[in-house]
Amino acid sequence: MKSSISLLILICIAMIAVNSCKTEEENIDQRVEKLLSQLTLEEKVSLIHGNTFFTTPAIPRLGIPALHLSDGPCGIREEMNPHDWNVANATNDAVSYFPSLVALASTWNQDLAAQFGKVYAEEAIIRGKNIMLAPGLNIHRTPLNGRNWEYMSEDPFLTGKMAVSFITSAQSGGIAVCAKHFALNNQELARDTINVEASERALREIYLPAFEAAVKDGGVLSLMGAYNRFRGQHASENSYLLQDILKKEWGFRGLVMSDWGAAHHTLESANNGLDLEMYPINGKKGDYYLGQRLLDSIKAGKVDAKVVDDKVRRILYVMCKLDMIGKPETDTTGMAAKLATPERAAAALAVADEAIVLLKNNSNTLPIDLKKTKTIAVIGDNATRKHAYGGLSTTIKAKYEIPPLEGLQKRFGTDVTVKFAQGYAMSKDLNAKDPKLVAEAVNLAKTCDQVIIIGGLNHEPGNDCEGSDKPNMNLPYGQDDLIKAVLEVKPEAIVVIIAGTPVDMSSWIGKANSLIYTSYIGMETGTALARVLTGDVNPSGKMTYTLPVKLEDSPSVVLGEYPGSNGTVNYKDDLLVGYRYFDTKAVKPLFPFGFGLSYTSFEYSDLKVETGKEKESLNCVVSFSIKNTGKVEGKEIAEVYVKDAQSTLSRPDKELKGFTKVSLKPGESKRVEVTLDKRAFQYYDPEKKDWVLEPGKFMLKVGSSCDKILLEKEIEL
Ligand code: GLC
């Protein structure tokens, strides 16, 4: 009797909950329609384009405030001057400088992504921002893309999972975020004009899934149309991408903004799904395609005024979701003291700790044994270089940034003497060499117990920087000579590469005993590196993109016609992006996708697979045990891949469809579960124009990286 009453109560609660959420949406729709009916055509048109670099206009008589937008993935960009659209040079807008998104993804830790989203939203609110222009969800297709470091991975599933954790958490913090750049913006070279041709399967299975997850699972409230063209039409006015797929198929209710200057025509922007044009392409403030030109086109009968209503409806929908209507704009006085608090710096450090990837550690060179170390030589321009302010739109005015050298000096205190040699110098000429600096570094290395070389890339053009691709995969400024010369006299020297894209290490990797690879990991870079190098923190990051031996091994080069010719790049690499290529074509990379070492070791055992009986949900639960078989506590990322043993259409050898991260004490074992949904087994059938699950055999492969499969089981669906 009791159980049926409690069941009844539960059902009532559930119905109220569903109703309340329905009424919330219904309530918003009613408020939006009411506002829409009160707006004049001119007011509506004023709302669908920017009025300064990062704002839209307010309509005070109806309680519609201005929308305040801001970059970027690593934190809240400095204030712009609303009048002349330049940097305001404010003195109260220094913020937390968070790790880059490729660093966040390298943690494979969705809880950290949620924590990041929380603190990120806190600072945006304090700075009075409503829409933050992140996360970047484009796939790492080529090792040369200048913006890969702003994106997460070569794999759409990992990107989608990490993005959804970040998005849901940031948006529950009271801001909207903006999934960008929609879509197929995988190179910076000729980004404003390049036309991307890609198959329907590559589009659906590689380039869109992270955006699809952001919309369907993350409820992202805005997307940014990309600069490039797709199948001949600019992405920011592309009816297939924006109308057919995003709004009709996926049911997206938020707003689509253009990238800055990415709208090119009044009729296309008006009719193909662009809702908000940011920055006039000709730079003439106020001269927008969705401005006076649109009004003129409506009056001339070329555009139906109703298209404006849908745009305004979406903008008002986002404002209502943010509860902005009728509310005063954020009062940001006194904000300086509320920014970059220790709690947020701690969140940045937590991500940085887990974003560091240990790729090589022969004869346990690492962690550094401080009992045997009295002097340490720290060599390399990246030991002291700060990266916050670089990278064009991702630029951050950091409250502070601790580079590697400073972090090491703080960690070692007076117990160890830390000496520095620049080793190489940054230059406009990427091929510049400075033998004097190399000689100086080698001499220092000879005199110290331990040597740490800290090299890699930076945010100068030709490196990891928006607006250009890298000319090649070489380490710039003669770093190869430096690393080889130091390893000559100190084979046990530790090599740390700071980069958001692959670099060619083939000339010295064989001689290096240890290698750490990490991206731009924020304000506590030096703290985190020192913690990992000394073993205070056991590294747990894993690569989210393949490190090829050389550029010529990359599928975008071998198959994919990067960077394109005559204005078009044809994605002939198709589905074979990243590990999908190296696996399927059996090309050995230098370091594979999903690879990363620990100071301890793990054992996987006892794989079980239970497939749900219900055909629809098809919840396939993969469970297995992981044991820490080493002497120190550690975190392990376990990866679950699916191989379609027999499929009508060709499929990559295997694809990542699940992962989990678990913390284990020495000797501890835990049972972990990864649930695969139906999509984990499907492929997109261009004939049926839908995802299909083809009955047959599938192999489930559990591993510590894509090329280290430890457990596998065949199932029949
Ligand atoms: C830039 C970038 C975009 C950024 C926007 C605003 O060109 O492509 O990511 O959010 O303009 O700065």
Q: What is the tens place of the pLDDT at every residue in 637-659? A: 999 999 999 999 999 999 999 99
293 and 395, same domain (yes or no)? no
pLDDT of the residue at 9: 76
- Mean pLDDT computed over every residue of the chain: 96
Q: Could you tell me if residue 691 is inside a domain?
A: yes
Atom of ligand 1 nearest to the CA of 227: 8
387 and 420, same domain (yes or no)? yes
Q: Could you tell me if residue 632 is inside a domain?
A: yes
Residue 227 Cα to ligand 1 midpoint, Å, equals 10
DSSP class per residue in 200-233: HHHIIIIISHHHHHHHHTT---EEEE-SSEETTE
pLDDT band at 318 (very low <50, low <70, confident <90, very high): very high
pLDDT of the residue at 84: 74
- 259 noted as active-site residue: yes
Q: How far apart are CA 391 and CA 343, in angstroms?
A: 26
Q: How far apart are CA 438 and CA 456, in angstroms?
A: 15
- In percent, how much of the chain has pLDDT > 90? 93
pTM: 0.96
Q: Could you tell me if residue 83 is inside a domain?
A: yes
Q: How far apart are CA 594 and CA 497, in angstroms?
A: 17
pLDDT of the residue at 275: 98
Pocket test for ligand 1, best of 259, 278, 392, 394 (most atoms within 8 A of CB): 259
- pLDDT tens digits, residue range 162-199? 999 999 999 999 999 999 999 999 999 999 999 999 99
**Nearest alpha carbon, ligand 1 atom 7:** 260
262 and 379, same domain (yes or no)? no
Q: Which of 558, 584, 610 is the last residue of a domain?
A: 584
- The one catalytic residue in 71, 93, 155, 259 is 259
pLDDT over threshold 60, residue 636? yes
Q: What angle do CA 74, 78, 81 make, to 5 degrees?
A: 150
Return the DSSP state at 13: H
- pLDDT tens digits, residue range 569-625? 999 999 999 999 999 999 999 999 999 999 999 999 999 999 976 666 788 999 999
Q: Could you tell me if residue 15 is inside a domain?
A: no
Q: Which domain holds residue 365?
A: 352-584
pLDDT over threshold 90, residue 83? no
- pLDDT tens digits, residue range 328-353? 989 999 999 999 999 999 999 999 99
Q: Could you tell me if residue 596 is inside a domain?
A: no
Q: How far apart are CA 181 and CA 211, in angstroms?
A: 9
pLDDT of the residue at 374: 97
pLDDT of the residue at 363: 87
What sections of 448-538 are H helices per DSSP?
Answer: 479-489, 525-534
Residue 670 Cα to ligand 1 midpoint, Å, equals 44
Q: Ligand 1 in contact with 147 (CB < 6 A)?
A: no
260 and 137, same domain (yes or no)? yes
Q: Ligand 1 in contact with 393 (CB < 6 A)?
A: yes
pLDDT of the residue at 4: 76
Residue 180 Cα to ligand 1 midpoint, Å, equals 9
- CATH code where residue 636 lies: 2.60.40.10
Pocket test for ligand 1, best of 147, 178, 236, 260 (most atoms within 8 A of CB): 260
Q: How far apart are CA 311 and CA 99, in angstroms?
A: 34
Q: Ligand 1 in contact with 553 (CB < 6 A)?
A: no
545 and 624, same domain (yes or no)? no
455 and 537, same domain (yes or no)? yes
Q: How far is CA 527 from CA 25, 370, 412, in A?
A: 45, 16, 11
Segment 280-307 shows an average pLDDT of 93
pLDDT of the residue at 360: 98
Residue 394 Cα to ligand 1 midpoint, Å, equals 8
pLDDT of the residue at 328: 92
- pLDDT tens digits, residue range 682-717? 999 999 999 999 999 999 999 999 999 999 999 999
Residue 259 Cα to ligand 1 midpoint, Å, equals 6
Q: Could you tell me if residue 591 is inside a domain?
A: no
Pocket test for ligand 1, best of 53, 393, 468 (most atoms within 8 A of CB): 393
Q: Could you tell me if residue 390 is inside a domain?
A: yes
3-state secondary structure 668-702: CEEEEEEEECHHHCCEEECCCCEEECCCCEEEEEE
289: Cβ contacts below 8 Å, ≥ 6 apart: 49, 263, 264, 265, 266, 269, 270, 277, 280, 281
**Could you check whether the bond before residue 83 is cis, i.e. omega within 30 degrees of 0?**
no
Q: Could you tell me if residue 4 is inside a domain?
A: no
Q: Ligand 1 in contact with 140 (CB < 6 A)?
A: no
207 and 261, same domain (yes or no)? yes
- pLDDT tens digits, residue range 468-482? 999 999 999 999 999
